[in-house]
Structures are given as structure tokens and as C-alpha cells.
């Protein structure tokens, strides 16, 4: 296994500080719900499933502190990042336990275990799709760092490689915070998976010249019609992949699917501070008089998705709503 993004011991959430990678491996110890909220907001911990698990433990810590009500704790954590649906699922899972008098730490542990298991199953379900896709393109980081363990987009790559597939990964750098070049490349290098980092605007070149066999990304929220939100720049990759006949896969656990959203038009898109765009590695690269806009996500219509790789197998976009309805009946 590659790495653990976070882990918990009674009273303390340990978080691998993703802002420090790849230069330093720094672990933070969080003991209060407000510290967890700030870690999510600042992207110390990031990636929808990891955010959801961190928020679940944030609720457990709030219960342990005894200074916040379940409603206040949930409000605090919900305010951190509005796009990632897993955040809200993690919060509500532990909030229910809290209000019902059940053990909140056990509820958070169970939620974490569920996320890890679902990501493992995503790897198993998606590996056959990549058996003949020797060159795979990714965007942002949807590996173990983003999902506690295993990954979503990287899980099928890991399993396919374990089964003998010879894979090479094109890693989009993913501006402005470089989650691809800093984090995905770091994970792949640790596991000696062949890869090359490319500028975000080079992906179209490789897609159009026949040097990409498949694209696989994660997601932060998926509507019931199959529209989905992911890191800014995903939409462009999906459109260009479709234009060039390259399959485009989205890997996500069930906690990322938001059955309440009819389509992607109602998915909230977080806009972050302009300094992330105007600076690079702490150094301003734009004129002092310039301003920027910084949407953190974009929404890709379902028509550009070849298939979703889920813990229950491969689901084509037209079947998403039926699958979610069936899962709701079975719960």
C-alpha cells in the first residue's frame, strides 16, 4: 500500500500535511474540531473522500470536547469546502450517531473503513478497463492522499499493475496548486510506476496525437444524471478525449454520488483566493496591479463520460439514476 493520508487515535486525528509534499513529510496532530475545519479549508487534507473522513473525525472530536452542539459542529465543518459531497456525508454520519447517543468515534471509524473498502473495490472494478490502456492520463490527485488509502482514479492503475499490466501515466500538473506534479507524481514515484508530469495545457496535444489510451479522474460530487464536479480543468480533458475517441472514466465511491442533485447545474462550485493563481511557490508571478479568478472545480456533463468506476462495478452514465435508486431501496 502506498500511504495513509490520515489516521485516528482516541482524541487525536493525525493528518499528513499535503501542503508540505513533496519536499517534506509532515504530520499534524489535531485535537479540536476547529483545527480539523481549518485543515480542510486550507487543503492540509484534501480530496473528497479524505475530506469526508476528516470531517467525520472532526465531529467525533467536537463531541469529545463538549463545547459545541451537534448542529454547531456540523455547521462549522460544512462551511469549509462546499463542492465535495463526501464532506457532508461524513458529517451527517457522525452527527446521526451523536444525536442517537451512539459512540461517535466508532461511527467515524466505521465510516473510514467503508471509504477505504469502497476504494479498494473501485480498484478491482476498474483494473480490467486499463488492461490494454498502456498510457493513461490523470488530472489532479485522486490517489491515496485524496482518499485515505488506495485512491479512486489511481486504484485501478495500482490493481492493473499488480496484475501485470504495463502502464505509463501522464500526470497533469494541475494548476494552481499543482496537486498532480506535487502529489500524484509523489505517489507514483514511491511505487515506481512509470510516469511523466505534463503542463495542463499539453494534455490536448497528447490526446490528439494518439499517445493517450484512456483518461481516468476522480470526482468531488456526482449528480444523479451523471454530471460531475472535479478539479478545474477536468471538463477540458473530457471534451478533448471525446473528440479524439479516447475513453474517459470517472472513479468514485458511493459517498461522492449526490442523488438529490438532478444535474450538474445545481452543484456549488467553490472559488478560492486569488493569491493561489497570482503566485507560484510563494512568489508572485503576476503584476501587483493584476487580479485573478480562481474556481477550484468545473462541472463536466455526463455525455462526455464513458463510464463511472464504482464500488459496485462499472456504471454507464444512463444507469446512474437507476443504480442510486436501487441502492437507496437496499439501505
Rg value, the chain, Cα: 19
The gap from C-alpha 87 to its chain's centroid, in whole angstroms, comes to 11
CA distance linking residue 97 with residue 106, whole number of Å: 9
Interval 119-138: pLDDT, tens: 999 999 999 999 889 999 99
Domain 126-330 has CATH 3.30.1480.10: no
Q: Can you read off the three cell numbers belonging to residue 47? A: 480530496
What pairs with residue 279 in β-bridges?
284
Residues of the chain with CATH 1.20.120.420: 6-118
Cα–Cα distances (Å) from 287 to 3, 176, 281, 295, in that order, read: 39, 17, 16, 20
Residues of the chain with CATH 3.40.50.10470: 126-330
Residue 3's pLDDT is what? 82
Query: Per 3-state DSSP, what percentage of the chain is helix, strand, and coil (rounded to 5)?
Result: 45, 20, 35
Residues identified as active-site: 220
Q: Which CATH architecture describes the domain 6-118?
A: Up-down Bundle (1.20)
Interval 162-206: pLDDT, tens: 999 999 999 999 999 999 999 999 999 999 999 999 999 999 999
pLDDT under 50: residue ranges of the chain: none
Residue 2's pLDDT is what? 59
Residue carrying the nine cell digits 512509470 = 194
Helices vs strands, H then E, count in the chain: 13, 16
Amino acid at each position: 500500500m502506498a500511504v495513509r493520508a490520515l489516521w485516528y487515535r482516541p482524541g487525536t486525528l493525525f493528518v499528513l500535511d499535503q501542503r508540505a509534499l513533496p519536499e517534506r513529510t509532515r504530520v499534524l496532530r489535531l485535537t479540536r474540531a476547529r483545527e480539523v475545519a481549518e485543515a480542510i479549508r486550507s487543503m492540509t487534507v484534501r480530496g473528497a473522500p479524505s475530506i469526508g473522513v476528516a470531517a467525520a473525525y472532526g465531529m467525533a472530536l467536537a463531541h469529545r470536547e463538549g463545547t459545541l452542539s451537534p448542529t454547531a459542529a456540523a455547521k462549522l465543518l460544512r462551511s469549509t469546502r462546499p463542492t465535495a459531497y463526501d464532506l457532508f456525508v461524513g458529517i451527517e454520519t457522525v452527527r446521526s450517531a451523536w444525536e442517537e447517543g451512539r459512540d461517535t468515534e466508532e461511527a467515524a471509524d466505521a465510516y473510514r473503513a467503508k471509504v477505504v473498502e469502497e476504494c479498494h473495490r473501485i480498484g478491482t472494478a476498474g483494473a480490467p478497463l486499463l488492461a490494454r490502456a498502456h498510457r493513461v492520463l490523470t488530472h489532479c490527485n485522486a490517489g491515496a492522499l485524496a482518499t485515505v488509502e488506495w485512491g479512486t482514479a489511481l486504484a485501478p492503475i495500482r490493481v492493473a499493475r499488480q496484475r501485470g499490466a504495463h502502464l505509463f501515466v501522464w500526470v497533469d500538473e494541475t494548476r494552481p496548486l499543482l496537486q498532480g506534479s506535487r502529489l500524484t507524481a509523489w505517489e507514483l514515484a514511491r511505487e515506481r510506476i512509470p510516469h511523466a508530469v505534463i503542463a495542463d495545457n499539453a494534455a490536448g496535444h497528447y490526446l490528439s496525437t494518439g499517445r493517450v489510451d484512456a483518461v481516468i479522474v476522480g470526482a468531488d460530487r456526482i449528480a444523479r444524471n451523471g454530471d460531475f464536479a472535479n478539479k478545474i480543468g477536468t471538463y477540458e480533458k473530457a471534451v478533448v478525449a471525446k473528440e479524439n475517441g479516447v475513453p474517459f472514466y470517472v472513479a468514485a465511491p458511493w459517498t461522492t454520488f449526490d442523488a438529490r442533485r438532478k444535474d450538474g447545474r445545481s452543484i456549488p462550485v467553490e472559488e478560492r483566493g486569488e493569491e493561489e493563481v497570482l503566485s507560484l511557490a510563494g512568489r508572485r508571478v503576476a503584476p501587483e496591479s493584476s487580479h485573478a479568478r480562481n474556481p477550484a472545480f468545473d462541472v463536466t456533463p455526463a455525455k462526455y463520460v464513458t463510464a463511472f468506476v464504482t464500488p459496485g462495478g462499472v456504471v454507464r452514465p444512463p444507469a446512474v439514476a437507476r443504480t442510486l435508486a436501487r441502492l437507496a431501496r437496499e439501505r
